[in-house]
Structure 1
Amino acid sequence: MKVSIAIAGLIASPALCYLRLPHRGQSAASIRRNEFTIRSSAGYLAQKPLGFEYTPIPKSQTPLTSDPFPIDDPKGIRIHPVDERACKSGSRQLTGHINVTQHKSLFFWFHESRRDPKNDPLIIWLNGGPGASSLMGGFTELGPCMIDDEGKSTVYNKHGWSNFANIIFVDQPAGVGFSAVTDDSYLPYTAQVASTDFSVFIRRLFKHVIPEFASHKIHFMGESFGGVYFPSILTKILDQQQSLSELGLPDPFPKIESLVLADALVDWATNMIGSYRTACVQRPDETGVEGQVLNKTACEVLSAAIPDCEKLGSECRLSMDGPTCQAAAMVCDSMGESFWDLARAGERNPYDMRGDCPDRDICLGYFEKRMTKYFNQPRVLELLGLPDTTVYHDINNEVNRRWSEWAYDSVLPVLNRMTQILEESDVRVLVYNGNSDWIINTAGALGWMDIVRWKGNGEFRAADLQPWEYTDDDGKKHRGGMTKQAKNGKLTFASIDKAGHMAPHDQPVALETLVQSWVEKTFGPSR
């Protein structure tokens, strides 16, 4: 039996992803830009053609899951404990695969908390893509260890989030990272299929692997395209819980305490509208960028395009129709042309405007090269219990291509899912964004948070942004960014000063403070 294994990055997350907008014809401008592919922190964030021709009907993917693995069946679960040789974590860790169907398995890497694993909360982390491995977050951002500059070993991360929480990094959908499919025909390429698989994974994980953690406070955290993944997964779980309740059956899912969206894609139109403030309004104290990113002419063109993007974005949100949203995405996407010109010239990094893009084609290539080198070492594969024929790739390009070209999920907003989470559950929601991130920007995050429908909308819109603080390793206080919230923190926003797409990497102390205080329900503006 042939097993396909690949490694991915995320979009922020993206963390390293490759977000493509599907079914687009080739315009001259788009052909020029398509010569330049940029990878993000969670995979890749590549901009697709801007023409107006598209395939009107994407391929469907049915059934939702094939040969589902029975939840109570312990077969199809492979656990492999690892030690400090694989990751200098400072706590107990294990890896494994869990079959979600007869043809698909998801890989996870679990780290116990360094502080109090029996009582600390549990974070489940996803990077984006689609098609990116969550190990990018685990080994370059927030995990207990980091891959060294040479890509040969790991170093202890003193600001890893395992300081206060147990953490699981999951490679999904199947076929991404160390997750596997028996054949590429089983690669998921819609949120519906991926969410169904993940709900099976969650139930089997807590039933057979870590049942002692099922009663802990559990936090879903997703970066970049994780802003599509986790709202889809969480609403899938909520729907299943409702169905079980109506049938009078017990709830097999653990309680989800909160959802954290990190530089996350939720609505493409508001994000591209936000690119104007991001690139055309000088805010050096927030972004760390001196001067205006785009020149006056480019900003005037960008400003003039906002009304059309707003109109089409609104039509997309009202209809939730694939072709309508695709048309909106194409128009709104054209607003980024001037910035992509700078990126292609190597002058600006879309994932962190403070930097340039010397590699031209891989603006975050130093992360990816490090990851690829480390996980392709035979000794590391052996430590993980993987076959020596396994090849680590930073992204599963076929998964990304199918999500981008065979379905509309990369252009459909998930605002309706956010409404369901805010209105029909007790789940708290935190949205944080690096102020130096252009590709998924702070203004765009605030844009969708202002229009999401829920009973706290008016309160959130009316709330003033206030500074929040953190204390560095020398005991000095700093402004971390700005924050506001509604309904006693039901929905909370926090910006991160001088941080790009991979904010935990750029500002590790600030993010450790932010996330720890969030899970402990103590986060708020400075007094």
Structure 2
Amino acid sequence: MRSTTFIMLLATLATATISYAAPSPATGNLHSFVERDGVKFNIFKHAATGAQLEYVNNSGICETTPGVNQYSGYLSVGTNMNMWFWFFEARKDPENAPISAWLNGGPGCSSMIGLFQENGPCRFVDGSLEPSLNPDSFNEFANMLYIDQPIGTGFSYGTNLVTGTTQSAELVWKFLQAFFAQFPQYKSRDFGVFTESYGGKYGPGISDEIIRQNNAIKNGTVKGEEINLVALGVNNGWFEPYIAYKAHIDFSFNNTHKRVIDEGQHTRYMNALNGRCKQLIDSCAVSEGRNGCAQAQQLCGAQIESPISYANDFNVYDIRAPRDDPNPPPTYTGYLQRPDVIKKIGAQSEYVDCSNPANFAFMGQGDQAKSILPALSRVVNSGVQTLIWSGDADWICNWYGNLDAANSIDYPGKAEFAAKELEPYMFNGKEVGTVKTVGNLSFLRLYDAGHEAMYYQPGPSLQIFKQTMQKKAPFST
């Protein structure tokens, strides 16, 4: 049954006032405006891709710094496929600042999580029901673009045809092409992709797609705008299934925060991992067939991830906390379901924090059981500044697994990187983690931070983000 709020949103379509502008003679792109229920929407039809952008200017929600522009709305990436975005200019020198996309994982979880809980312009403090400015927002340094994908995630709505990482990357590329066509002032900037969790698949997949499309544009086989990809950052990511499941076992037995299995359990889980679980993972790697890969993730999850996660009272996103820990606080979900907020930002659907249908579409194809390391290796070999970093209290995508994944990246510095020891990483003279770098690849362990690392360590996280976007390895201050 549709809610009253959604019915009210649909009703505004009947009272819309539309004005059109002539298509651009050079590009064929069409600009127009529509007013619905007192809210003015900009409409941009991108001739090259057939995509359409529809958004509002400066809603006044979240970013309230004077003179800092924001845009929120949708990109139509296909028939009845509407992808939500929210863009915030940099607070300082937006005309020259780089631009970064942020995507949360899931698969099927909204990037509004990162926006309101981690690195966005606003946050909820001390139980407040209204957001306040975040001094450690990533838009202190860069123009930030938050994207809800696949369809059905967050405010995105319509028909979801995405069943895996590859399709996800293709639609994000299409989105970026239309976005830069509408906002050409940003298209020549340094561009970064930052993400977390299932973003261990998204980030390398999207970056690899950008590199592939850039090469096709250079070769003249594709028409479009090259994207100046300079940085990829993934915190607490899922990269490769065997590595991730092994890390569940090892981290549960031996971490600096809380042991949740004993030595005998460790041995039994390792035997399970190296039995039928590994056989199915290896089979998936060879064939990447739907049934085999789905079977691998189902069996390995049932034999390892699920039983360990219930072995003791701990939170899989912060092993230090109980299972029902309320942090980070989910205040933003109620805020984004308020009719006044929905109206101001131009949303046309109700907010869904994490979409089960979107998640099931990936899981049904066994996408989780497929390694992203080949794509990640191509990204590193292309010269993109790449950072794998992890809050060290996270269990679900823990730093043991992230370090092993980083050590497994195939590039000229692989042997040296794998052999190199981690060294202290400082923030304003205080040790907040450990780090190692060889060439353009870095790994960083961030102390005392859970899955959403930026929530726990906002100041150091902003420093890490800035340094990576500057095409530098993380360095102490």
TM-score range, shorter chain: 0.7 to 0.9
Look up the match of 2:58.
Answer: 82
Q: Distance in 2 between matches of 1:100 and 1:106?
A: 7
Give the Å deviation of 1:274. Answer: 1.3
- For the structure 1 residues 246 and 393, does the alpha-carbon distance in structure 2 shift closer, same or farther, using more than 3 Å as the test? closer
1:206 matched to which residue of 2? 180
Structure 1 residue 364: Cα displacement: 5.6
**DSSP 3-state at the match of 1:263:** strand
1:148 deviation in Å? 4.4
Question: In the alignment, which of 387, 408, 428 is matched to residue 366 of structure 2?
Answer: 408
Distance apart, 1:221 and its partner CA: 0.8
Q: Distance in 2 between matches of 1:278 and 1:463?
A: 21
Greater mean alpha carbon deviation, residues 267-276 or residues 325-334 = 325-334
**Per-residue deviation at 1:317?**
3.7
Partner of 1:49: none
Are 2:298 and 1:339 aligned? Answer: no
Q: Following TM superposition, by how much is the alpha carbon of 1:507 offset from its aligned partner in structure 2, in angstroms? A: 0.9
* Residue identity matched to 1:96: G
1:136 Cα deviation after fit: 0.6
1:253-264 aligned within 5 A: 253-264=226-237
Q: Which residue of 1 aligns with 2:341?
A: 380
Give the match for residue 356 of structure 2: 397
Name the counterpart of 1:56: none
Q: Using a 3 Å threshold, how does the CA distance of structure 1 residues 460 and 75 change in structure 2: closer, same or farther?
A: closer
Q: Secondary structure at the match of 2:96?
A: coil
Q: Is the 8 A contact 1:484 1:494 kept in 2?
A: yes
Counterpart AA for 2:204: P
Question: SS of the residue aligned with 1:482?
Answer: strand
8 Å CA contact 1:87, 1:154 repeated in 2: no
- Match of 1:153, SS state, is coil
Q: How does 1:98-109 map to 2 (within 5 A)?
A: 98-109=75-86
Letter of the structure 1 residue corresponding to residue 200 of structure 2: G
SS at match of 1:141: helix
Q: Say whether the 8 Å CA contact 1:466–1:525 is kept in structure 2.
A: no
Are the structure 2 counterparts of residues 318 and 485 from structure 1 closer, same or farther at C-alpha, using a change threshold of 3 Å?
A: farther
Label 1:89 to 1:265 Cα distance change in 2 as closer, same or farther (>3 A): farther
- Identify the residue that residue 118 of structure 1 maps to in structure 2: 95
Q: Larger deviation: 272-281 or 504-513? A: 272-281
Q: Secondary structure of 1:252's match?
A: coil
CA distance, structure 2, for counterparts of residue 403 and residue 316 of structure 1: 15
The SS at the match of 1:355 is coil
The residue type equivalent to 2:141 in the other structure is: F
Seen in structure 2, the aligned counterparts of structure 1 residues 465 and 141 have a Cα distance that, compared at 3 Å, is same
Give aligned pairs, total. Answer: 434
Distance change (3 Å), C-alpha of 1:224 and 1:249 = closer
Separation in structure 1 between the aligned mates of residue 242 and residue 473 of structure 2, nearest angstrom = 29
Distance 1:525-1:391 versus aligned 2 partners, 3 A rule: closer
Give the drift of 1:302.
3.0
Structure 1 residue 498, shift from structure 2 partner: 0.8
AA at the equivalent of 2:419 = A
> What amino acid does structure 1 have at the position aligned with 2:150?
P
Unaligned runs of 5+ in 2: 7-44
Change (3 A) 1:112 1:350: same
Aligned to 2:401: 444
The one-letter code of the counterpart of 2:235 is: A
Matches within 5 A, 1:155-194: 155-181=132-158, 184=159, 186-194=160-168
Q: Is the 8 A contact 2:241 2:371 kept in 1?
A: yes
Q: How far apart are 1:85 and its partner, in Å?
A: 4.3
Whether the aligned pair in 1 keeps the contact of 2:385 and 2:468 (CA below 8 Å) is no
Measured at CA, do residues 415 and 249 of structure 1 come closer, stay the same or move farther in structure 2, by a change above 3 Å? closer
Q: Tell me which moved more, 82-91 or 123-132.
A: 82-91
Q: Which has the higher strand share?
A: 2
- Is residue 385–residue 473 contact of structure 2 (8 Å, CA) maintained in 1? no
Indicate the RMSD between aligned Cα atoms, in angstroms. 2.8
Alpha carbons of structure 1 residues 326 and 189: separation in structure 2 relative to 1, 3 Å: closer
Corresponding residue of 2:116:
139
Checking the alignment, whether the CA contact within 8 Å between 1:352 and 1:437 is kept in structure 2 is yes
Q: Are the aligned partners of 1:348 and 1:357 in contact in 2 as well (CA < 8 Å)?
A: yes
Write the distance in 2 (CA, Å) between the matches of 1:327 and 1:234: 28
Displacement of 1:265? 1.0
Q: Residue type of the partner of 2:56? A: H
Provide the rounded CA distance (Å) in 2 between the counterparts of 1:317 and 1:85. Answer: 45
Q: Summarize the Cα distance change of 1:89–1:180 in structure 2 as closer, same or farther, 3 Å threshold.
A: farther
How big is the shift at 1:491?
A: 1.3
Q: Deviations over 1:236-266 (max 9, x none)?
A: 2323333333336665122111111111111
**2:259 is aligned with 1:299:** no
**Relative to structure 1, is the Cα distance of residues 350 and 337 closer, same or farther in structure 2, using a 3 angstrom cutoff?**
same
One-letter amino acid of the structure 2 residue matched with residue 353 of structure 1: I
CA deviations over 1:90-138 (Å, ceiling 9, x no partner)? 6321212122223212211111111221122111000011111101100
Return the letter of the residue paired with 1:375.
Answer: L
2-structure distance, mates of 1:464, 1:366: 32
- Decide whether the 8 Å contact of 2:85 with 2:146 is kept in 1: yes
Contact 2:148–2:156, Cα closer than 8 Å, also in 1: yes
User: Residues 248 and 87 from structure 1, CA distance in 2 versus in 1: closer, same or farther, beyond 3 angstroms?
Assistant: closer
Structure of higher RCO (CA pairs closer than 8 Å, 6+ residues apart)? 1
| Cα distance between partner residues in 1 of 2:464 and 2:320 | 22
State the distance in 2 between where 1:225 and 1:353 align: 19
- Residues 410, 211 of structure 1: alpha-carbon distance in 2 compared, 3 angstrom cutoff: same
1: CA distance, partners of 2:79 / 2:221: 29
Helix, strand or coil at the partner of 1:175: coil
Unaligned runs of 5+ in 1: 7-68, 284-288, 472-476
1:294 deviates by 2.4
Tell me, yes or no, if the aligned pair for 2:297 and 2:368 is still in contact at 8 Å: no
Of residues 199, 202, 214, the one that matches 1:241 is 214
Q: Confirm or deny: 8 A CA contact 1:71 1:203 kept in the other structure.
A: no
Change (3 A) 1:89 1:150: farther
Cα pair 1:481 1:494 within 8 Å, conserved? yes
